[in-house]
């Protein structure tokens, strides 16, 4: 019977889709674990750099350092972090929608975009935004040198006067089931309230100014590293949850189809029996 065969085929194909989504879920879970341990490792360094900078900044004349000087924000830049690949639920959609709103709010014509991750680049370059730089195909071998490369590219452009204010828009990893889209003021440097203030009076070698000069790029690098790690962890978490949902849905679908299949099979058997019986009865008479 054609109907039975069709259902069997559908069950077969959904079965294999389910296998794929389950495999993707497991891979995402493994990557998430690695991303989380990277985040764990980066924390002490980030905290100390932040602590020392917080301690120093109030004493420093901001105008002597280009990366600290506030200047009128005529030209904005937005760094937008997305993933390279899809199948991670609303991870990219959400951030792209929100980022577009933010950029439009700032004025499309005086905004430059730096897209980290292929999805963002595709989205914004198609819509006529000024994407000055984009990175993709690195998430799998993500390491600290990527952060250094991106951070120095951004600060070089900033120092060249290409833009006066840099924001980062990225998905922050809250927990496995939750990401939060965050807008962060990257340049000029503003500091969050410190969690670990440095109280001691230090001797600075070679000088306070020099130390700040060398600290600021370090700080920008580690911040960039944090964005990459957060976004990566959030992406893997999103993928894991959505693939888990997909696997469950495939299971539900298979159950429903199997029920239908059995019903159809029963119906077929009943008709056959009916035919046999009525045939036999016809013979008796």
Partner 1 sequence: MAAQFHLEIITPTKVYDEGQVDYLRAPGVDGAFGVMAGHTDSIMALDIGELKVVKGSVNKIYASTKGFAEITKTGVQLLVESAEPQSDIDLTRAQKAYERAKGHLNHGQNKMDDELRAQRAIARALNRLKVGKRK
Binding residues for partner 1, rule: CB under 8 A, are 38, 41-42, 44-46, 48-49, 52, 143-144, 147-148, 152, 156, 200-206, 210-211, 214-215, 218, 221-222, 225
Only one residue has tokens 């997909």, namely: 246
Find, among 242, 168, 154, 187, the residue nearest to 70 by Cα: 187
Q: Least distance (Å) from partner 1 to the CB of residue 184?
A: 18
- Identify which of residues 4 and 215 has a Cβ nearer to partner 1 in the complex: 215
Burial class of residue 143 (count of CB atoms within 10 Å of its CB; 0-12, 13-18, 19+): exposed
CA atoms within 13 A on the CB side of 154: 33
Residue 169, classed as helix, strand or coil, is strand
Min. distance of Cβ 250 from partner 1 in angstroms?
Answer: 38
The pair of structure tokens assigned to 165 is 């204010």
Q: Which is nearer to partner 1, 49 or 238 (CB)?
A: 49
- Out of 76, 88, 116, 147, pick the active-site residue: 88
The angle subtended at Cα 82 by Cα 78 and Cα 87, nearest 5°, is 160
Q: What minimum distance in Å lies between the beta carbon of 12 and partner 1? A: 46
Does residue 95 sit in helix, strand or coil?
helix
Residue number with CB closer to partner 1 (13 or 207): 207
Nearer to partner 1, 24 or 42 (CB): 42
Is the dihedral angle over the CA atoms 29, 31, 37, 43 positive or is it negative? Answer: negative
Shortest spacing between CB 41 and partner 1, in angstroms: 5
To the query of whether residue 115 is one of the catalytic residues in this protein, the response is no
**φ and ψ at 250, to 5 degrees?**
-60, -40
Distance in angstroms (rounded) separating the CA atoms of residues 229 and 234: 8
Catalytic residues: 88
């Amino acid at each position: 019977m054609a109907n039975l065969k069709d259902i069997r085929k559908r069950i077969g194909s959904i079965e294999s889709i389910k296998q794929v989504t389950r495999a993707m879920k497991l891979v995402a879970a493994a990557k998430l674990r690695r991303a989380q341990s990277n985040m764990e490792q980066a924390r002490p360094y980030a905290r100390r750099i932040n602590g020392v900078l917080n301690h120093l900044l109030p004493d420093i004349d901001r105008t002597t350092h280009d990366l600290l000087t506030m200047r009128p924000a005529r030209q904005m830049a937005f760094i937008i972090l997305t993933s390279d690949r899809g199948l991670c639920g609303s991870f990219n959609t959400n951030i792209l929608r929100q980022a577009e709103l933010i950029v439009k709010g700032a004025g499309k014509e005086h905004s430059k975009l730096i897209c980290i991750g292929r999805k963002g680049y595709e989205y914004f370059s198609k819509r006529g935004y000024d994407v000055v730089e984009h990175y993709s195909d690195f998430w799998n071998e993500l390491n600290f040198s990527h952060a250094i490369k991106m951070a120095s590219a951004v600060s070089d452009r900033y120092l060249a006067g290409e833009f006066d204010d840099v924001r980062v828009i990225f998905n922050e990893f809250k927990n496995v089931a939750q990401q939060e889209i965050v807008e962060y003021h990257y340049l000029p440097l503003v500091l969050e309230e410190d969690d670990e203030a440095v109280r001691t009076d230090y001797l600075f070698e070679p000088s306070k100014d020099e130390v700040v000069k060398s600290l600021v790029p370090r700080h920008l690098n580690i911040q960039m590293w944090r964005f990459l790690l957060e976004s990566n962890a959030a992406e893997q978490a999103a993928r894991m949850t959505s693939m888990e949902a997909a696997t469950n849905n495939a299971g539900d679908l298979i159950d429903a189809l199997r029920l239908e299949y059995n019903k159809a099979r029963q119906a077929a058997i009943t008709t056959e029996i009916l035919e046999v019986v009525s045939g036999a009865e016809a013979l008796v008479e």
